[in-house]
Amino acid sequence: MSISFPKELANRKQWICWRLEPNTKDGKDSKIPYNPLTGRKASSTNPNDWSTLDNAVAAKEQYLYTGLGFVFAKSGGLVGIDIDHCRDKNTGELNDTAKAILERFPSYTEISPSGTGLHIFYKGEMPAKGNKNTKTGVEMYAHSRYFTMTGERLPGTPDYIAEDNGALAWIHENYIKSKKRRGKSKKDSKVVKLEPLTDEEILEKARTAENHKEFNLLWEGKWQEAGYPSQSEADLALCCMLAFWSGKNKEQMDRLFRNSGLFREKWDTVHHASGATYGQETLDKAIEVTENVYSRESESVIFEHEGRYYRTRGESVYPITNFIIQPVEMIVSEDETQMTADLITIRDEVYRQTFMTTDFNNIQKFKNILNRRTISLGYFGSEGDLELLKGYISEMEWVQKTGVKALGIYEHGERMVYVSTDGAIEAGGNIVEDIVQLDKYKSITTDILIFEPLTKEQLVMLGEWILSYNEPIKTVSVMAWVAGCFIKPHLKKSGIKFPHLLLVGEQGSGKSNTLERVILPVFSCSKIRAATQVTAFTLMKESASSNLIPQLMDEFKPSKIDKCDRQVLLNKFR
């Protein structure tokens, strides 16, 4: 296979391999990243797992990986746009979203491995928060993600990566940024008007919409103040807004535009050999690039009223919950999202619940979460209503945090922080607000963040006690290993393996006492498992639960452990 990439990508040491593997949770295939040099699973946040393009290509051919991947690095100066299901695999025809982006801001663009998506690259930085919009199918990433690469450039696009000349902000505003819904009270639920908006209604809504400032400036003809480099671009922008509100009614768009401050003689000037005027061409272009349109029916598909959520369908309106949701926080990790919210019933009862995105997959899972601690929360809608409710909830104002699976130490915002389900701190004990461990991965627990830091004097006193507890040569070795646990992430980045600690001695030599009275308190843990009680599942779960705190086991006596259980432990030790 002939592989060709722009030098801006090919010369970077940000390449990995990936392989399609079945997901044990849902049976579907997942794209698992691999380190080209070690053959181990790779992380999109650890540069030590990435390599050169040549090494990735060689590993792919030698070890039969499914494909190559390019990882976006922090401060790397590159941003990737991923557009799903935008290309007909057989004809190559693009949807309106892809056409609008590439016509306005052409840059190096690849066809995805499926043949139905596109990856576009720009030089620049993320313009705002938010990476994904499921409605438009557009995603935007600058770090901590990787793209599956093909080297198959989309015909007609440049072979280089273009500078960001406003492209990223425009794409984010139009295809990533959530448009906030406003809950509506409907006391008369029987009347739902579905007629198109009148000219007066369009102006009223446009002047109070989220982008009302831009609309008002364009309507008054103040296109320079609106930030447009030319009046022609401003004309198209206003026509796109009119296309949205009018449902692409060309006659109504033309009538409204003629009443705006942008109207000029050029509007009726023949601008094409076909006899089309400048105005007709501008209206046609606006209709072509405008993907979504307003309709009265879609305005309030889900709305809040008197402590419930309602669904409108045609002229019918019906309740789907007996509660409303008040967001607390949204924790976003590499491959899943956790949401915590207060659910307030019609009787003003408040229940704090934590959801994973998969809890909205079907009604039964959603109801199981609602009924976890009470029978007061009810959902009465269909599967389709639940999908709409999920979209409604996603557009609420959430406090967003970064989520990690394992308790431990991470590089975050160019600093090292300690993270657990209780929160996070950096050096000096300063609290870090925007990163936390996901609740579902909480297995190994610790109270480290609960206790006040020890003073220098307390450490000196404690050191004297510890060193007098046993022979110093033994104690120092144990404490050095314990201290090393707190720098394991640094050692891993340097390729240094961390050893096991085995306390071996005769009965009564103090093994259990050392474990319980010296090692355990350092990690502020309270749980020690007997080696005879662990299973393959608990070993795996606790291993994934922390990158810092060790799995503490007592009574490891191979001769007294069942053969199968012993083999599980030995395999783990390896």
> Does 416 reside within a domain?
no
Specify the pLDDT at position 300. Answer: 53
CA 324/CA 329 separation, integer angstroms: 16
Residues acting as catalytic residues: 82, 84, 119, 139
The average pLDDT across 531-546 equals: 76
Return the H-helix or E-strand segment holding 522.
helix 520-522
Final residue belonging to a domain, choices 294, 319, 348: 294
Burial class (CB in 10 A: 0-12, 13-18, 19+), 339: buried
CA 206/CA 223 separation, integer angstroms: 16
Contacts of 236 (CB under 8 A, 6+ apart): 282, 285, 286
Final residue belonging to a domain, choices 176, 208, 228: 176
Q: Which residues pair with 308 in a beta bridge?
A: 305
Query: Is the same domain home to 165 and 229?
Result: no
Q: Using 50, 70 and 90 to split pLDDT, how confident is the model at 527? A: confident
Distances (CA, A) of 66 to 25, 32, 43, 69: 21, 10, 17, 10
Lowest mean pLDDT among 8-17, 52-61, 383-392: 383-392
> Does 436 reside within a domain?
no
Query: Is the same domain home to 122 and 21?
Result: yes
* The most confident of 127-136, 183-192, 334-343, by mean pLDDT: 334-343
Query: Is the same domain home to 135 and 41?
Result: yes
Q: Using 50, 70 and 90 to split pLDDT, how confident is the model at 455? A: confident
Query: Is the same domain home to 141 and 205?
Result: no
> Does 192 reside within a domain?
no
Lowest mean pLDDT among 11-15, 279-283, 384-388: 384-388
The average pLDDT across 162-180 equals: 85
CA 424/CA 418 separation, integer angstroms: 5
Q: Which runs of consecutive H residues, i.e. helices, occur in 413-471?
A: 456-467
Specify the pLDDT at position 263. Answer: 96
Q: Using 50, 70 and 90 to split pLDDT, how confident is the model at 250? A: very high
CA 97/CA 37 separation, integer angstroms: 38
The average pLDDT across 225-229 equals: 91
Query: Is the same domain home to 29 and 155?
Result: yes
Query: Is the same domain home to 384 and 506?
Result: no
Distances (CA, A) of 88 to 43, 119, 205, 331, 572: 32, 15, 36, 35, 48
Residue-wise pLDDT tens digits, 365-420: 999 999 988 899 999 998 888 988 998 898 888 988 998 888 888 888 878 899 88
Packed helices 383-394 and 363-370: angle between N→C axes, nearest 10 degrees: 60
Residue-wise pLDDT tens digits, 296-351: 655 557 888 888 999 887 667 889 999 999 999 999 888 788 999 999 998 888 89
Query: Is the same domain home to 169 and 39?
Result: yes
**Residue type for position 19:** R
> Does 500 reside within a domain?
yes
Q: Using 50, 70 and 90 to split pLDDT, how confident is the model at 189? A: very low
Tell whether the model's pLDDT for residue 193 goes beyond 60: no
Specify the pLDDT at position 194. Answer: 45
Burial class (CB in 10 A: 0-12, 13-18, 19+), 214: buried
CA within 13 Å, CB half, 53: 15
Query: Is the same domain home to 365 and 314?
Result: yes
> Does 434 reside within a domain?
no
> In total, how many domains does the chain have?
4
pTM of structure: 0.44
According to DSSP, residue 13 is labeled: S
The average pLDDT across 494-507 equals: 84
> Does 224 reside within a domain?
yes
Q: Using 50, 70 and 90 to split pLDDT, how confident is the model at 511? A: confident
Dihedral of CA 435/438/443/446: which sign? positive
Query: Is the same domain home to 172 and 219?
Result: no
> Does 438 reside within a domain?
no
Residue-wise pLDDT tens digits, 472-490: 788 888 889 988 988 888 8
* 310 vs 188 pLDDT, higher one: 310
Q: Return the percentage of the chain with pLDDT > 70, whole number.
A: 94
Specify the pLDDT at position 462. Answer: 85
Query: Is the same domain home to 215 and 306?
Result: no
CA 51/CA 49 separation, integer angstroms: 7
Contacts of 537 (CB under 8 A, 6+ apart): none
Specify the pLDDT at position 185. Answer: 37
The average pLDDT across 289-299 equals: 71
**Domain containing residue 480:** 456-573
Burial class (CB in 10 A: 0-12, 13-18, 19+), 218: buried
| Tokens linked to 423 | 């929160």
The average pLDDT across 2-24 equals: 88
Query: Is the same domain home to 551 and 465?
Result: yes
> Does 443 reside within a domain?
no
Query: Is the same domain home to 240 and 95?
Result: no
Final residue belonging to a domain, choices 294, 309, 336: 294
Q: Which residues pair with 379 in a beta bridge?
A: 321
The average pLDDT across 530-540 equals: 75
